[in-house]
Every structure is written in structure tokens, then in C-alpha cells.
Amino acid sequence: MNRREVLLRYAEATVGYAGEAVVRGAGLTVESGEIVGLVGPNGAGKSTLLRAITGDSELLCGSIELAGVRLVDLTPQRRASLVGVVPQQVSVAFSFAAAEFVEMGRHPHLPRFGRPGPEDVRAVETAMDLTDTAHLADKPVDALSGGDLQRLAFAQVLATEPRILLLDEPVSHLDLNHRLQVLDLTRALAEKGLGVLAVFHDLELACRYADRIAVVASGSLHPAGPPARVVTAEMLRSVFGVRAVVGTDPVTGTLAVTPIIRDGAVARAERGRVHVVGGSGVAAPLVRRLVLKGWTVTAGALNTGDADATLAEALGLEFAAIPPFAPMDAAAAITCARLAEAADAIVVCEVPFGHGNVDNLLVSVRAGRPLVLVGEIEGRDFAGGAAASYWTEAVAGGARVVPTFDEVEAALDALVPARH
Amino acid sequence: MRDSRDSRTGPALAVLAGGLVAAVVLGVALGAVRVAPSELLGALGRALSGQQSGMIDTLVLQVRLPRVVVAALVGAALAGAGTIFQALFRNPLADPYILGISSGAGLGAVVALTLTAQATALRYGVVPLAAFVGAVLTMALVTRLASWRGRLDAASLLLAGVAVSYTLAALTSFVMVFAREQMATVVFWMMGGLSGASWPYVAMIAPMFLVGAVASLAFTRELNLMLLGDERAGHLGVDVRRFKLIALAVASLLTAAAVAVAGLIGFVGLMVPHMVRLTLGPDHRALLPASFLGGAIVLVLADLIARTVLAPVEIPVGIVTALIGGPFFLWLLVRGERS
């Protein structure tokens, strides 16, 4: 099955419930051999789009085609033979044997009075082998665990031998092991030529398993594209209202999404300006906390690519960027001095100081603004005593020294009274 | 288990068929007058060869045999209807009697009986039809009431069934007030009696039963899928709305057939599917035919008890089934509460 065929096509499709449109004018194709992921905020209509195929939501306008045939021209039975729907949750209150349960998936292929033939038996056996459920064949389904039941439901879908697979947040309630099992199996089936359309709650799983991703937001379906093109910091901000860092997972090599802060929380900022001296991710937890509390945070010189710099970029903070591993230059020092002087208070985090960054401390101490120092300088002066001497100067000048981050906020509140 | 279950279905159906033959023979042979097996065979032989015959032959062929055949058909129809209702509502407590469908059919039949008091011939056509109309209307009413707030849950279904059942019983009594001269017949009929059963009754019920039986045996796989829930059944190719309408109509037809000839006989539709499910499992491809056979056996035997236990006094067979079925229903309820 190397030739790619369009198995599922939404054309100007408007879908919804009870005559009310939820998603308008959606356009999307799923080809054989690919997994297309739908992502988007809760209630945006991902499931509504998916459910329109099985008639569980309404196709109000436009068309949906399955293997080139319009949905309206398919009988429920014919449609069921083309499309397999992996259920979100399986509940059983009756004691069918597992194999009987899986065999129900053959229904669309059987004539009215027909008994299952050799072909059907083979399909059931293959489905149970693929899902690792063959050993359960004789067990009553109402005595099985949730994980077994989920795999059995998958087997039931596969027994139908569908060409298109629909998954609606298929793994959100599964443990880690079963999550990977279901998704790896889905991947393997796509490689055998099935077309898969899946709703993902988890963006990282979507990036990891989907070949293309389409975003559903505010009543419309954005064009599908490769994960790296679709899942970006800008998209996360505009669609999910979240400032996030999009990086690469060091192990899987797929996209890693780290949400940092809700956009709404940032927008309310009006507490005062704090200049934070950090580096290598030491300041990140404090910066996040201060931003949440409504402080306008600026940062000292940071090497781009380090965790503090990435966070500052994602939050849109003003800071002096210097190239990775480079020492502070004159321009960075000037920027730092300007930011420090403009601040209502300055916080120096527990970073090691060397020749490359000791100027951060210097401009902070000399800025003439209220100063909060975190921890002790002992053991982190790698600048030949310069850092220790600036530190002593600061303490002599009235800087507050707090042992950990936890006391920083109280110190800032004392130094900068809240404006009402 | 699956293979053994599959391979068990054939023999189980054969055993049940054999049991039905045995029950029929017992039903014909036993009673106020005992008929020896040899006389039984003789009577059948003479009937087939067209010879004229004596009193025993009349007893066997004109009294006992039609009565036993009607009992078998009524029992099968009720058990089949119960099986279908239990699958559609995914509720093991559903049964035409408990859901009020029998009462609906009963009201229809009583109205027809009253209106056709002077025209006996007409009755055989009108009563079953009226019973069917009554059953379908009640079905619509009960499901409507039970799904008042969206979903149709087990408790509200049973409550709606019971409430509707009471109301219809009152209406039935009300109709009877206007037909005093018919009261005794109607009351006895309502309690579930087979005492008047004759060949015209068989002719009345058999076509309805056959249509219902063949239609329902054609959709046993859909009944299985309905146990997975409406949505899953839809995913696997069942046109759920359409199927529910058809299946409810078929179950109502079977109920109406039973009620039109035998009045209100409770609990057969509840007990029989249960007992069969315990031995053959929930697969309707085995469950439904086995329930038809089991229902027939149960009612033939219950009628035998009704005729013989206080002989020569005959008690309505509905009382026999209620005496056995009522406690059975309670047992199911209690067991369901505990699990």
C-alpha cells in the first residue's frame, strides 16, 4: 500500500448539535498511512468534528467523504465497515466472552441470517493477536480490568477491518503503559495503510504520534501541517491563551511543550518593576512566581538558550541577551544598568559569579535601588573575590539578605508598598 | 468457553425442543380425565386419517390440544418479548407486564371485547388488532415518560411502567362498568386464563406470533450490539433509531398476540430470559430462540398446574405465574441492589 489514497475528506463541512453549528467550514483530508491529530481548547469542537462521521453529531452543511463516497450516500452498515471508532471508555454489564465481544465487530460484514465464516474467525483472531488479547478469548468481559477491556475494545474495532480509524482522546484515562501500547498500535496500523484521525488532549503526544496536526479553535479548523509548523509558541498563545516554551524532547526528538503561565494571569500585571539577576535556570521559578503576582519583571544579562533566557523570551520579558557561553559585553552591561535603575527593586538570585557575569552583580549593586540578595556569596565567587566584595558593599549599603526564594516576596512587599 | 458455548447452543435448543414436546404430551394427557399415551396416539391417528371418533378424541383434539398449543404460543411470545425489551433497555428487569405493555394491550382488547359483544366472529380479528394498538401506544407513552429528562434510566423506566400500568388497569375497570353482562368473562380473561382456548384462538395468535418470531430472530445480532449502548451499536453499523422502532414494534406485537388470547399473564417474560441467560450466556443468537422454547414449556406446565392442582376447580394461569414470578422478581431486585 504505497500509493496514497484520500480516505477521509471534510469539504466546507459545518458540524454541530441540534442545528447549532460548532465548527464551520472545516476542510481536512486524511490519507492512507497517516495519522492526523486534532488539537484545540476544550469545547472547541474537536470531538464534534470527529463524531459527525458516525452521525453522533450533525453534519449541517458541506460534505464529508469516506473513501470517495459522500457520507449521505452510505448506509450505517457500509459506513461501519469503513470506519472503526475506538471508544473512549468501555463499560460492560453483561458476561459475553471476550472473543464473542470482539466478534461483534464483524457485524457490518455479515448478512442478515449469516453465521460467522472462516474469514470472520480469522479477522477476530488477527485482531486479538494484534492487541495482545488472544489469551483472554474465553474470559467473560465483565470480569476484566480496565486496561484489558480497552485493548479488547480496540480488538473489536480491528475485527471490523476498517480503512479509517477514529480515536477521540483515546488515552486520556489510561496509564502510561497502556497509553503507549494503544498509540504504538495505532502507529503500526497507519503504517499498514489505515488512515487515522485522532483527537488529542495532550499536545506532546499529538506531536509525537501525528504526522500532521490541525488546530480547532473558535469555531473553525485551521489547516493541518507538520507538528513543528503548527505547534509553536505563537499558536499556544493565540489558541490556548498560554505562554509556553516549545522545545525538543531530548529522548524522543519530538516537540516538547512546557506551558509556563496563562496569558490572563500575565495581563493583570501592575504591581511594580523588579529586576532579577539570574542565569542557567536558577531564576526561573522566582520569575514565574513574580509574574503571577503581578510584578513586571526584567532580567539581567542572560545567555540565550539557557533556561532562564528561554523563559524570559516566552514571557516577553525585557532582558539583555548575550550569545551562548559568551561573557557580558559593554552593550549588555549598559542594558542591565538601565533596567536595574528603572526597577523598583532588584533581586539577585543564588547564581555562581565568574568573570563573565560578575558585571551583573556590579550594575545591580551600583544602581541605587532597593536590593534583595538570596543566599550567601560563599562558595560561588569564581571572579577572584570581585563578587564577594560587591556583595559586601551591597550589604553595607542596606541590602536585605534572605536565605531562600520563599522570603523574597515578603522582602519585596516591604520594600515596594502595593499601589492601590 | 466460547467454543463450548457455541457448541452448546445446538444441543441446548434440541433439549428444549424435546422438553416442549414432552410438556405438550403431559398437558394433553393430564387433567380431570387422564388420557393414556396409547389413546393419545389413537386419537391423533384417527384425526389424521379423518375417521369419526368418540369422547376421548373430542377431549384430546378439541379441548386439550388447542389449549396446550395456545399456552405454548402465549408463553413463547411473552418470553420473546421480554428478551427483546431487556436487550433494548439494557435492563434485566424489563418485561411486557412490568413495563405496562400488557396492560395497554389488555385495555385495547377489553375495549374491543366490549364493542364487539354481539359479533363473535368479528372478535377474532378486532381483539388482537386492538391489543396491538394498545401495546404500541403504551410503549410510546412509557418510554416517553421514562426519558423525560433526556436519558432513559432503569429506575424511571420501571416506575413509569408501574404507574402507567395502574392507570390502565383503572381505565380497564372503568370500561367494564359499561359492559356488566360481560364482566365475568372479561375479569377471568384479565387474570390470565386459557380456559376458553380453542382452535380459532390458535388461528388468531399463530400468524402474529410467527411474524414476531421470524422478525426478531432476524435481528439477534443487533440485540447483542444494543447491549454495548446506543452509541457503540451505531458505530458498529446499527441504524439505532430505526432499529429501536422496529424492535419495539415487534415486541409489542408479540405481547399483543399473547394478551389478546390469554389476558394478563405476568413474569414469564421476566423469568424465562433470565434462566436461559444463566445457562447459555447473553448471546441473543442462542438466547432468543431458547427463550421462545423455554417460554412455551413454562406456560404449558403452568397451565397444567392451574388446571390440575385444585381440580375440578381451575385457577387462572396468571395467578400461577405471578406466585412463582413475583418472588423471582424480588430476588432479582435484591440481588441487583447488592451487586
- pLDDT tens digits for B191-218? 767 877 888 889 889 999 999 999 999 9
* pLDDT band of B266, cuts 50, 70, 90: confident
- Asked if A72 is an interface residue toward chain B (Cβ–Cβ < 8 A), one would say no
* pLDDT band of A93, cuts 50, 70, 90: low
Q: Are B221 and A110 an interchain contact pair (Cβ–Cβ within 8 Å)?
A: yes
pLDDT at position B120, please?
Answer: 66
Q: Does the complex come out with an ipTM higher than 0.95?
A: no
* pLDDT band of A229, cuts 50, 70, 90: very high
User: Which of A103, A104, A154 has the most B C-beta neighbours within 10 Å, making it the best mutation to test the interface with B?
Assistant: A104
- Rounded Cα–Cα distance for residues B39 and A417 (Å): 113
Please list, in sequence order, all residues whose beta carbon lies within 8 angstroms of the beta carbon of residue A168, skipping any fewer than 6 positions away: A46, A47, A50, A51, A85, A86, A88, A198, A199
Min Cα distance B2 → chain A (Å) is 6
- How far is residue B41 CA from its own chain's centroid? 29
Cα nearest neighbour of A165 on chain B: B235
* pLDDT band of A125, cuts 50, 70, 90: very high
Q: Is the pLDDT of residue B152 over 70?
A: no
**Chain B partners of A80 at a C-beta cutoff of 8 Å?**
235-237
pLDDT at position B216, please?
Answer: 96
Please list, in sequence order, all residues whose beta carbon lies within 8 angstroms of the beta carbon of residue A270, skipping any fewer than 6 positions away: A294, A296, A419
**Chain B partners of A105 at a C-beta cutoff of 8 Å?**
236
- Asked if B336 is an interface residue toward chain A (Cβ–Cβ < 8 A), one would say no
**Chain A partners of B224 at a C-beta cutoff of 8 Å?**
96, 104
Yes or no: say if B105 and B259 are a contact pair by the CB < 8 Å rule.
yes
pLDDT at position B4, please?
Answer: 47
Q: Are B227 and A94 an interchain contact pair (Cβ–Cβ within 8 Å)?
A: yes
Between A and B, how many CB-CB pairs are < 8 A?
A: 70
Q: Are A95 and B281 an interchain contact pair (Cβ–Cβ within 8 Å)?
A: yes
pLDDT at position A26, please?
Answer: 92
Q: Is the pLDDT of residue B188 over 80?
A: no
**Chain B partners of A124 at a C-beta cutoff of 8 Å?**
none
pLDDT at position A420, please?
Answer: 54
Q: Are B231 and A56 an interchain contact pair (Cβ–Cβ within 8 Å)?
A: yes
pLDDT at position B2, please?
Answer: 43
From chain B residues 58-117, the ones with a CB under 8 A of any chain A CB are 90
Q: Is the pLDDT of residue A77 over 80?
A: yes
| Element containing residue A221 per DSSP (H, E) | strand A220-221
- How far is residue A193 CA from its own chain's centroid? 27
- Asked if A325 is an interface residue toward chain B (Cβ–Cβ < 8 A), one would say no
- Asked if A111 is an interface residue toward chain B (Cβ–Cβ < 8 A), one would say no
Strand partners, A371: A346
- Rounded Cα–Cα distance for residues A42 and A18 (Å): 19
Nearest CB partner across the interface for B218, out of A100, A112, A160 = A112
Q: Is the pLDDT of residue B112 over 90?
A: no
Q: Are B218 and A113 an interchain contact pair (Cβ–Cβ within 8 Å)?
A: yes
pLDDT at position B52, please?
Answer: 66
**Chain A partners of B236 at a C-beta cutoff of 8 Å?**
80, 104-105, 107-108, 156, 160
